[in-house]
Structure 1
Amino acid sequence: MLGAYLRGDRTVELREVPDPEPGYGQVVLAMRACTIGDSDLRSIYREHRGTGPEAYRGVIAGHEPAGEVVEVGPGVRRLRVGDRVAVYPVSGCGLCAECRRGYQVGCMSPSRAAYGWQRDGGHADLLLAEERDALPLPEELTWLDGACAACEFVTAYEALCRIGVSGRDRLLVTGLGPLGLAAGLLGKALGVTVVVGADPSPERRKLACDVGAVDFAVRGSDEQLTGLLGPGAETSIDCSGSGAGQPAALRHTHRWGRAALVGEGGTLTVDVSDVLIHRQLTVVGSWLSSTWRMAELLDHLARWDLHPEQVVTHRFALADAAEAYATADTGTGGKVGIVWTP
């Protein structure tokens, strides 16, 4: 089969490798869609930044897979050949406190392995996955829906649930990349009355309006946000991972409001008394999600008739993976996906 590897110098290397064989509790998936995440670009494609257990181990890339079960190993109890699944991005030990909560992303064991980082991922024709990581993909959802849900959408959903957004609230989204688009769309599905988005990119602001993720999109100056939100939105979520977007989200959250920091990276400097304590803010740091929350989201997406695929602006075949990564690296469009024809 063909697999894509990232060398850390903005280069994609395609290799022919043996087909995987399932072991105990494992399944083999024929890949149908696997999108490219910002963390792939930041920490693997541009350079290999991780160290220790988080380091990229020279495996097949792609941590947002969706595919069809084509082979099952011994001990598989739930899945059958032909089942449609989306794959949770991290496979944990299953025994530590984080795994027992369903948050394999925070697994504390050296055996923790993220797909596309420490174990082979979805940018290949076939993927070897643990049965526990493969979640049923409702028939109402497309393969790209499942791939998008596996990372950006479930990350945004987790954070929005943790700050309790509802019809009482307005929502400020700083950073309108794929994660910000997901936050806006899901915020509306959860009932928020108005979504205001901030991003310095005019292309991303336009896309956010075009897909209906935001009601207003601005560059993000204090004057613009104050003009739209007055003393602030009841809820906010930073999806930028930048030292500009993070403090803007906090400054423009209303007194007694709730803010989530989700975008990776950035260095946050804030006057703690003035911005946080005296304004009684609740601030949550939220990292990916849990397997149970992802299963919940997939069911909700089908029921809401909400299709994450709408944030995908570019589709490529696996043979064109180098062009797919280069396109995603421009940072001006929406989600980029690698897709297969069943």
Structure 2
Amino acid sequence: MLGVYLPGDSTVDLRQIEDPAPGPGQVVIAVRASTICGSDIRAIYREHIQGDPAESYQNVVAGHEPAGQVVAVGEGVSRLQAGDRVAVYHISGCGQCDDCISGYQISCTSPQRAAYGWQRNGGHAELMLADERDCIVLPDDVTYQDGACVACGFGTAYEGLLRAGVSGRDSLAVVGLGPVGLAAGLLGGKLGATPRIGFDPSAERREFALRIGAVDEAVDPTDPASRVAAEWHVAVDCSGSTAGRATALATLRTRGRLVLIGEGHGFQVEEASPQLIHRQLTVHGSWVTNLAHMRELVERLPVWGLHPEVVVSHAFALQDADQAYRIADAGQSGKVAIVPNPA
């Protein structure tokens, strides 16, 4: 079968590899959609981050946002069967530590922890091997591209909004209108937040966010005439930039809640008393999501009438993965999907 590897230096390597066979507790999935995450671009495609075990790419098939159809099951598999449609939670933990037991495999620190697309083969291939415990069954009304978007991006946004307790009592500011920011705006609206404002210097991304209804207003934070006022109940930074986090902080009203989702760069607070303490702000760091919340999210999507695939602006065949990564790396698009096996 064909698989995509990311050797760094902004290149894509297509290789012919053997088809996987399921071991005990494992399933083989025919991948129907595998979306590209910003962390793939930041930490693998451009360069290979070393030192942090969670971001140490081990020369495996890339892609940690897969969804597809089960085609084979191994010994001991009891919940899934061939034909099931699933998304894959992209970190497989030890299954024994407190974090794994609570569903936060993302925080597992065991040497056994292995993320799909980082330390074990991921979804940029025709077939992938996954542990049954990492698979989430998709409702009939949830598409494969919906499932792939949930596998990381929408799950990450949902977790952040849950941390802040977003509800119909809140207004919402989203900083960074890339795929995760789009997800935060769409999900925030379903949770009742209104109005919703988005901040991004890219005119293309602002226009796309408005077109799909992710925000009610989209603003260029670099424009001196832009409205960056301290009037929002919740601000979610999805940019991962120092400037973006400063914008998010500046938008909050007294007793507001800030959620930091985007990774990378710094967070600068010059004076804690006037900037945090006197304004009585709450700051949440939120990393991916847990398995229960991801299951909850895919179950809510049909109820809300929300299809996460609305954020997908480009889709490519597996053979065109190089072009897919180049568009994702440009940072001007919505979500980019690779479709190894069209449904």
Alignment partner of 1:234 is 2:233: yes
- The residue aligned with 2:118 is 117
Hey, what's the Cα distance between the residues in 2 that align with 1:171 and 1:262? 14
The one-letter code matched in structure 1 to 2:106 is V
Letter in 2 for 1:338: I
Please give the alpha-carbon distance, in whole angstroms, between the structure 1 residues aligned to 2:225 and 2:288. 32
Corresponding position of 1:196: 197
Alpha-carbon distance between aligned partners in 2 of 1:81 and 1:51, rounded to the nearest angstrom = 39
Determine whether 1:59 maps to 2:57. Answer: no
In structure 1, give the amino acid aligned to 2:149: C
Q: 1-side partners of 2:51 and 2:89: how far apart? A: 22
Alpha-carbon separation, structure 2, partners of 1:112 and 1:236: 32
* Aligned match of 2:314: 314
> 1:275 offset after TM fit, Å?
1.1
1:178 matched residue in structure 2: 179
Output one character per residue of 1:97-142: Cα deviation in whole Å (capped at 9) or x when no partner. 1111100000010110010000000000000000000000111011
Closer, same or farther in 2 for the Cα pair 1:298/1:273, shift >3 Å?
A: same
> Which residue of 2 is the match for residue 36 of structure 1?
36
Give the deviation of 1:223 after TM superposition. Answer: 5.5
Q: Could you tell me how far apart the structure 1 residues matched to 2:207 and 2:69 are? A: 34
What corresponds to 2:254 in structure 1? 255
Residue pairs, 1:1-342, within 5 angstroms: 1-51=1-51, 53-54=53-54, 55-221=56-222, 224-226=226-228, 230-270=229-269, 271-339=271-339, 340-342=341-343
Structure 1 length as normaliser, TM-score?
0.97
- Supply the distance in 2 between the matched residues of 1:120 and 1:101 (Cα, whole angstroms): 25
**SS of aligned partner of 1:62:** coil
Does the 8 Å contact 1:43/1:50 carry over to 2? no
Alignment partners' CA distance in 1, 2:245 and 2:305: 31
Runs of 4+ in 1 over 3 A off after TM superposition: none
Counterpart-to-counterpart distance in 2, 1:231 and 1:303: 33
Unaligned runs of 5+ in 2: none
Using the alignment, how far apart are the partners of 2:319 and 2:226 within structure 1? Answer: 44
Cα-Cα RMSD: 1.0
Q: TM-score, normalised by structure 2?
A: 0.97
What is the DSSP-based 3-state SS (H/G/I as helix, E as strand, rest coil) of the residue aligned with 2:8? coil
Identity of aligned residues (%): 58
Q: By how many angstroms is 1:250 displaced? A: 1.2
Structure 2 counterpart of 1:268, one-letter code: F
When residues 52 and 205 of structure 1 are mapped into structure 2, their CA distance, relative to the original with a 3 A threshold, is: closer
In structure 1, what is the Cα distance between the partners aligned to 2:133 and 2:295?
Answer: 11
